[in-house]
Chains A and B, each alone.
Chain A
Amino acid sequence: MLQKQTSRWVNLGFQFLAILVALAFTTLLLVLSGAPPIQAYKELILGAFGSIDNVSNVLIAWAPLLITTAGLLVTFAAGLWNIGIEGQITLGAIFTTWVLRSFENSSLSPTMIIILSIVAGMFGGMLWASLVGVLKTFGGVNEIFGGLGLNFIASTLVLYLIYGPWRRPGVASLSGTEIFPNRLWLPSISNLGISPWAFALGILGILIIYFFLRGTYIGLKLKAIGKNIRSAHTLGIPTWQYMMLSFMICGLFAGLTGALQVTNVYHRLLPYITSGYGFLGLLVAMLINYQAIWVAPITLFYVALNVGSVQLPIALKLDSNLSGVLQGFLVLFVLLMEGVRQKLTRKV
């Protein structure tokens, strides 16, 4: 017992070290590009938490990333790399936009339309995810390649819609489709943009996944498949059916992310509607070693970095991708430190 606890502290120590090294490298990069590092970090923090508006922006971005990452834990549990998550978010956004457009001028109440559009978005994401599953199960296509291919198709589809059938009257541009009227926005706290509904969905999503993976038979079976598919088969678990199910659940969550991007964040369809949350979610999932309990704090940290860095070009004439650099370094060094730790502790 004592030994277990010391090893936990050692673990934490290594992770802390990883964060320090990541910060050091980012600082080095800042110094090399001639920017004052302290100032830059200050701007980063102020950009995220400096005002009510900024905090609200962080929270707006948090819900979608939280939901996507939660969904990804399900596919990771089954040992699957759902690289197609970006496409699934995109399809969610497309389906949501489609429903909003179709019922915009109908007699249905706005609440009804919004609910309908979100459900449609979830369905869209699930559909796209099950395609990855079908390709894997019946076509023998590895989910990484299938997902990558479907990502390309999804982003092409968005461009086609924006420039084609759904273009703005008169102009077709990268700025997306016509903005939806206010009543079709997810209700938010007055002029802050943050919606309690989106927030609630995010929290609910991660809670569901946490309990799903921890306390249900389906969750346990998925874990068994992820850890050893052959033994799972011998134990009588229908493996491909469960893998399909995990894709569909992840797709539902991805679709919900897309739906929130449309109904709560951008209020239209954009070419880059995913904001890269799919890939970011994959990164976060790896960073936290697929532990559901860490999803909420780490995704919050990541969106804070994202939102905070928006200030950088204005204040310091720095590229706002600095946060991306820091995020990447963090994942790399945490994984690296994990490797180093294993190597060192094995000797002891």
Chain B
Amino acid sequence: MQVELHDIHKTFGPVYANKGLTLVVPSGMIQGILGENGAGKSTLMKILSGFIQADRGEIILNGKQVVIKSPADAIKHGIGMLHQDPLDFPPMQILDNFLIGHSGGIFPQKIKAKREFLNLAKEFGFSLDPNNYVDALTVGERQQLEIMRLLWLGVDVLILDEPTTGISAEQKKKLFETLRKLAAGGKTIIFVSHKLEDVGDLCARVAVLREGELVGSMEPPFDNEKLVEMMFGKVIVQPQLQTIKPGECVLEMRDVAIEDYRLKMSEINLEAYAGEVIGLAGMEGSGQSLFLKACAGLLRPVGGAVYVHNENMTGKVYRSFLQRGVAYLPASRLEEGLVPGLTLSEHFCLADGNTGFFIDRKQNLALTNTRIKDFNIHGLATTPVESLSGGNQQRALLALLKDKLSLILLEHPTRGLDIESAIYIWRKLKARCNDGTAIIFISSDLEEVLNYSDRILVFFSGRVSRPIRADKTNVEELGELIGGRGWTKLAT
């Protein structure tokens, strides 16, 4: 189906999200849409898929002008969207989830649906058990389920919003294969991303958005430098980061065993030294989050001992760890890190660890303004945190950290951030290392792990590798380890 968007305008309050965007995607094309956060990619896609309505502009499908009022409407017109966080129902069985949105009378025809589910899965080479539960799936598998569901509903246009975030290299390969197959079959694919390499691998054409406007379009061969320049309006130079000589041991794990209802890990040994960065690589849900939580005292180990500065902290609560200079920055910023509804200054007030009774507003405001300036947060002291953009929220989280820390634990520190913000965050983190702080972080971006770590731990379904020196490995080796290959070689 040929999709045409003409002169789309959309504002949120005073902010222009889309400023007269025009885009024509012929049927059977894989169209990439590139842009940094806040460039208006998601808004445009949400307009096309009926989640929000444009203030002005036309949508034309196969030459016919349509009005899309809701996501259900979009599906009726043959447009389906795969969201960055899959919109599925974790407590449900896969087959039931598959049936959702399908209009087929009061009683769903489960047997027929199951047959068609299995056929679709076979066609694309997905191995999903329809009787399993959704919450047992990885992000990548949930994407596969959602793609199958949308195709079964009969969509001709598939929109994917940052689909390669949080899935493994293997799953990404499979996803791209599937998308190419679909495009060859005449479906129109719109692929939204801020990752150059993904867009370059997959797309037949790329449109670049900046500040709500279409600033350029390119067909292969892609010139990455040019694309980056279009995205940011300037050339970005990746800074060279020097490694720091590690100091004393700040964290030691001795034969630690941890488990949750899915994973069991044992005999974990690690010594982290002041000033070093340790990257945790692995597919989502391979145990790295559990490991990080155990480092923070948010998860009680079932065996072994955890030492912070040679003090046995096994079984102590997170607050005790915090008091000894261990800080934890979760991936879901608004759910686990910041308090929506409170302002920036109230956050600094909470994090400051004051022991007085009455709040010293003057001092608090001064502190807030200094931090806002130091960390380049685009917001005021009175701005509620939920109205900050993702990058600013992440910077705010960093700004909330105490001045003197021994260890910072981060989950996906740059997920969803544009390159500029990511570089900024790492500059701040490396400055911490210079002051003798150790950093342990999780990332599903192997480049990031390799670029910033001194040592790397690889996780694969509950197994933890020995620390690998970052300068002695490469993306290929890490990729294999993450996929579960090459472990015997590593052990020797």
Interface, chain A (partner B; CB < 8 A): 215-218, 220-221, 223-224, 227-228, 230-238
In contact, A216 and B357 (Cβ under 8 angstroms): yes
Taking the nearest CB of chain A, how far is it from the CB of B130, in angstroms? 33
Taking the nearest CB of chain A, how far is it from the CB of B435, in angstroms? 20
In contact, A231 and B339 (Cβ under 8 angstroms): yes
- Please name the residue on chain A nearest to B359 by beta carbon: A215
Tell me if B342 counts as interface (CB < 8 A to partner A).
yes
Taking the nearest CB of chain A, how far is it from the CB of B43, in angstroms? 16
User: In the complex, which residues of chain A have a beta carbon less than 8 angstroms from the beta carbon of B358?
Assistant: 215-217
Segment with Cβ contacts to A, from B157-165, B348-356, B425-433: B348-356
Of the candidates B319, B334, B336, B349, the one whose C-beta lies within 8 Å of that of A236 is B319
Chain A proximity mask over B310-324: 1 for CB below 8 Å, otherwise 0:
000000001100110
Chain B, 435-489, CB within 8 A of any chain A CB: none
> 4 closest pairs, A vs B, by CB?
A227-B341, A228-B339, A236-B322, A224-B339
Of the candidates A218, A224, A230, A236, the one whose C-beta lies within 8 Å of that of B357 is A218
Taking the nearest CB of chain A, how far is it from the CB of B386, in angstroms? 10
- The verdict on A227 contacting B340 (CB below 8 Å), with A216-B357, A218-B357, A234-B330 known, is yes
Which bucket holds chain B's interface residue count?
Answer: 20 to 34
In contact, B335 and A227 (Cβ under 8 angstroms): no
In contact, A217 and B337 (Cβ under 8 angstroms): no
Tell me if B346 counts as interface (CB < 8 A to partner A).
yes
- The verdict on A220 contacting B346 (CB below 8 Å), with A235-B351, A238-B319 known, is yes
User: In the complex, which residues of chain A have a beta carbon less than 8 angstroms from the beta carbon of B75?
Assistant: none
In contact, A217 and B359 (Cβ under 8 angstroms): yes
Tell me which of B319, B353, B354, B361 has the highest count of chain A C-beta atoms within 10 A of its own C-beta. Answer: B319
In contact, B400 and A220 (Cβ under 8 angstroms): no
Count the A-B residue pairs with Cβ separation under 8 angstroms: how many?
A: 65
Of the candidates A227, A233, A235, the one whose C-beta lies within 8 Å of that of B400 is A235
Q: How far is the CA of A227 from the CA of B338 in the complex (A)?
A: 10
Tell me if B328 counts as interface (CB < 8 A to partner A).
yes
Tell me which of A216, A224, A238 has the highest count of chain B C-beta atoms within 10 A of its own C-beta. Answer: A224
A-B contact pairs, 22 of them (CB 8 A): A216-B357, A216-B359, A217-B349, A217-B354, A217-B359, A220-B346, A224-B339, A224-B350, A230-B336, A231-B334, A231-B335, A231-B337, A231-B338, A231-B339, A233-B318, A234-B328, A234-B330, A234-B337, A235-B347, A235-B350, A235-B400, A236-B322
In contact, B342 and A217 (Cβ under 8 angstroms): no
Taking the nearest CB of chain A, how far is it from the CB of B275, in angstroms? 24
Q: How far is the CA of A232 from the CA of B351 in the complex (A)?
A: 10
In contact, A217 and B328 (Cβ under 8 angstroms): no
User: In the complex, which residues of chain B have a beta carbon less than 8 angstroms from the beta carbon of A227?
Assistant: 339-342
User: In the complex, which residues of chain B have a beta carbon less than 8 angstroms from the beta carbon of A220?
Assistant: 342, 346, 349-350, 359
User: In the complex, which residues of chain A have a beta carbon less than 8 angstroms from the beta carbon of B353?
Assistant: 236
Chain B, 345-394, CB within 8 A of any chain A CB: 346-347, 349-351, 353-354, 356-359, 361
Q: How far is the CA of A228 from the CA of B337 in the complex (A)?
A: 9
Q: How far is the CA of A238 from the CA of B323 in the complex (A)?
A: 12
In contact, B350 and A237 (Cβ under 8 angstroms): yes
Taking the nearest CB of chain A, how far is it from the CB of B175, in angstroms? 31
Taking the nearest CB of chain B, how far is it from the CB of A347, in angstroms? 10
Tell me which of B337, B339, B350, B400 has the highest count of chain A C-beta atoms within 10 A of its own C-beta. Answer: B339
- Please name the residue on chain A nearest to B321 by beta carbon: A236
Taking the nearest CB of chain B, how far is it from the CB of A223, in angstroms? 7
User: In the complex, which residues of chain A have a beta carbon less than 8 angstroms from the beta carbon of B361?
Assistant: 215
Q: How far is the CA of A224 from the CA of B348 in the complex (A)?
A: 12
Q: How far is the CA of A223 from the CA of B336 in the complex (A)?
A: 15
In contact, A230 and B335 (Cβ under 8 angstroms): yes
Chain B, 181-224, CB within 8 A of any chain A CB: none
Q: How far is the CA of A186 from the CA of B104 in the complex (A)?
A: 72
Q: How far is the CA of A288 from the CA of B353 in the complex (A)?
A: 31
User: In the complex, which residues of chain B have a beta carbon less than 8 angstroms from the beta carbon of A215?
Assistant: 358-359, 361
Q: How far is the CA of A227 from the CA of B347 in the complex (A)?
A: 12
Q: How far is the CA of A73 from the CA of B340 in the complex (A)?
A: 19
User: In the complex, which residues of chain A have a beta carbon less than 8 angstroms from the beta carbon of B347?
Assistant: 235
Q: How far is the CA of A233 from the CA of B338 in the complex (A)?
A: 10
13 further A-B contacts with Cβ under 8 Å, apart from A236-B322, A236-B323, are: A216-B358, A220-B346, A220-B349, A224-B339, A228-B335, A228-B338, A228-B339, A231-B334, A231-B338, A234-B330, A234-B337, A235-B350, A236-B351
